Amino acid sequence: AQSVTQLDSHVSVSEGTPVLLRCNYSSSYSPSLFWYVQHPNKGLQLLLKYTSAATLVKGINGFEAEFKKSETSFHLTKPSAHMSDAAEYFCVVTPSGSARQLTFGSGTQLTVLP
Amino acid sequence: DSGVTQTPKHLITATGQRVTLRCSPRSGDLSVYWYQQSLDQGLQFLIQYYNGEERAKGNILERFSAQQFPDLHSELNLSSLELGDSALYFCASSPEVGNTEAFFGQGTRLTVV
């Protein structure tokens, strides 16, 4: 069984300040982990993925995430928020090597204040 | 643009009716996945097809069914619709079973009135 917990349903930051979106996971297998972003009225876009290579993963638009097995966490960060980052972010887990069924977290709504 | 095309973008229909949602995967992708996004349940996996065959089933109701055709496009059929079926339905595709990167379409917003 696998699950994902996104610890904050809403996060507000000021433009130019750091972003931290928290995600904890549970998986019976060595998981693959992803962050997806959903802008209003848009589909889901892959930001970055972890598939058992480097634990620090760099994604698009300046985002990165660190896989910490001991803490079962995969937090998403960005050094400096931009207004265009305002969106909903989903942490996703899937067991590696199996028929893929992505398990989504409940989402974190990021608001960027001017 | 992910390369995954879903039609229609919006659909409004009455309770008890039946609708068909269509998905064209990225060129070359053999796997198609359907997901439902609703306010109360979040994003949930419904079903996966690989090269025309059903591969995995998630929380898909018996009133719902899907298929993948020889040209690899897929359809999700929803019947005896209820108000609670109102949701955003996403299709995703990936090259093969086990490849863990999915590319999502923009979704079909279904409203049941």
pLDDT of residue A27: 81
Share of chain A above pLDDT 70, in %: 96
Average pLDDT, stretch B11-26? 97
Q: Which two tokens stand for residue A65?
A: 């995430």
Q: Alpha-carbon distance B94 to B2, whole Å?
A: 11
Residues 6+ apart with CB under 8 A from B64: B46, B76, B77, B78, B79
Lowest-pLDDT range of A62-66, B12-16, B52-56, B100-104: B100-104
B55–chain A Cβ distance below 8 A for any pair: yes
Distance from CA of A46 to the nearest CA of B (A): 7
User: If interface means Cβ-Cβ distance under 8 Å, which residues of chain A face chain B?
Assistant: 32, 34, 36, 42-46, 49, 51, 90, 94, 96-107
A93-107 tens-digit pLDDT: 887 655 467 889 999
User: Is A76 within 8 Å of A68 (Cβ atoms)?
Assistant: no
